[in-house]
Amino acid sequence: MIDVRLLRTDLDRVKAALARKGVPAAEVERAAALDTRARELASTRDELRARSNAIAKESQQARKAGDEAKAKELVEEGRRLKGEEKDVTAEASAAEAELRDAMLRIPNLPNDDAPDGAGPEENVVVRIEGFDPDSYGSHQRVPHWETGAALGILDLERGAKIAGSMFAMYRKGGATLTRALCQLALDRNADAFEEIRPPTLARTDTLVATGQLPKFADDAYHLERDDLWAIPTAEVPLTSIGRDEVLAEDDLPMRLMAYTPCYRREAGAAGRDTRGLLRVHEFDKVEILAYTTPDEAPAMHAELLERAEGTIKALGLPYRLLDICTGDLGQSHARQYDLEVYAPGCDMWLEVSSVSWFTDYQARRANVRYKPSGGGTAFVHTLNGSALAVPRVWAAVVETYRQPDGSVAVPEVLLPYFRGATTV
């Protein structure tokens, strides 16, 4: 969440910044009013508590002095104050809870360098790499779900039979391809990132820490019996590794990576972009994430982007880089770049990676701090990126590497993971 003190000291700047994300000024003003109310009630509670304690001492002194009438009068006054304190404490607690809920729903402030825009259509295409629309043969203009069915490597019907629509089943070389893509991403980042295998079920406060809750509860899978959530991305558990901890500055930047299955309900998803693997409820992904100091964050953002881009290049897939505009930035995001690969069979650009900088927004929610060399504590900055998300990369590989005879050649960089096979 943003620093609540900004609502007290720089409200106009906060309103102007969040207006770039489409947040109404009234929402920010409401949070500021709740903050004022909560602080007023807390002050009144503390005054009542102090007066009640002082009266208790006065009544004891009156008894010692033999003035029972005065002591009795003070005891009655103390009871009245205790009752008032109890009522005000309840009001203060309710106001603080309402303020926290409001602050959890207010998005992060966008970075000054993020381009302005109202929505996805105004994202800025920074550059396009390796794309020539005239270079594709008719054999590559076949959508992956047709090729997958023909080769028996993608079984959507049985996936749906087992788990419902938008759950995929990979078979034979298709299953090998999913594993190979994940292993490639892990191997390419193992030089600097610690590999983690976190739980894929998480507590509510773990999802609150990254901003998935409370705002996006409808998009997540919730196991009500145990009050656990299926993670939508490894960002969720990785961000909470340092929750409620104070790290040494010498330990920063801390680089982490994880392969996990991910689960998203994709509430309301429908239409052309739900066919095949374009939008699924369960998918495999490798995430790279870092804790940094504020000064280290810009360079880390560039590094994560370079790493994600490098893996797409290694696979030989045409791609484009998008600078995400303020109106399309996520709840927790201050700055974001997306990588999209071109899938010739679908004739679509498919988002396969988001590389994001959250400033201290997530760290405040998760209470992840470090000790600066100058003393005291400060919140870390968190950054992450999709090193590789399988379904759409899988789709682009199958369509791009489809051969005239209907087979799919294995990209050279993946051959070491295919047990000697050269086709999927």
Q: Which domains does the chain possess?
A: 5-105 (1.10.287.40), 120-417 (3.30.930.10)
pLDDT of residue 266: 77
Name the token pair of 414.
């993946």
**CA nearest neighbour of 281 among 154, 402, 176, 165:** 165
First to last CA, the chain: 45
Whole-model pTM: value is 0.93
pLDDT of residue 374: 87
- Inter-residue contact 381 to 253 (CB < 8 Å): no
pLDDT of residue 267: 61
Say if strands 378-379 and 368-371 run parallel, antiparallel, or are unpaired.
antiparallel
Name, in order, each residue with C-beta under 8 angstroms of 147's C-beta and a sequence gap of 6 or more.
153, 154, 345, 398, 399, 402, 406, 408
Backbone angles phi, psi at 288, to 5 degrees: -120, 135
H-helix segments, 190-334: 204-210, 235-239, 297-314
Name the token pair of 366.
């998760």
pLDDT of residue 286: 98
pLDDT of residue 308: 98
pLDDT in tens, the chain (424 residues): 999 999 999 999 999 999 999 999 999 999 999 999 999 999 999 999 999 999 999 999 999 999 989 989 999 999 999 999 999 999 999 999 999 999 999 999 999 999 999 999 999 999 999 999 999 999 999 999 999 999 999 999 999 999 999 999 999 999 999 999 999 999 999 999 999 999 999 999 999 999 999 989 999 999 999 999 999 999 999 999 999 999 999 999 999 999 999 999 976 555 557 799 999 999 999 999 999 999 999 999 999 999 999 999 999 999 999 999 999 999 999 999 999 999 999 999 999 999 999 999 999 999 999 999 889 999 999 999 999 999 999 999 999 999 999 999 999 999 999 999 999 9
Cis amide linkage into residue 107, ω under 30° from 0: no
pLDDT of residue 271: 53
pLDDT of residue 324: 98
- Inter-residue contact 334 to 21 (CB < 8 Å): no
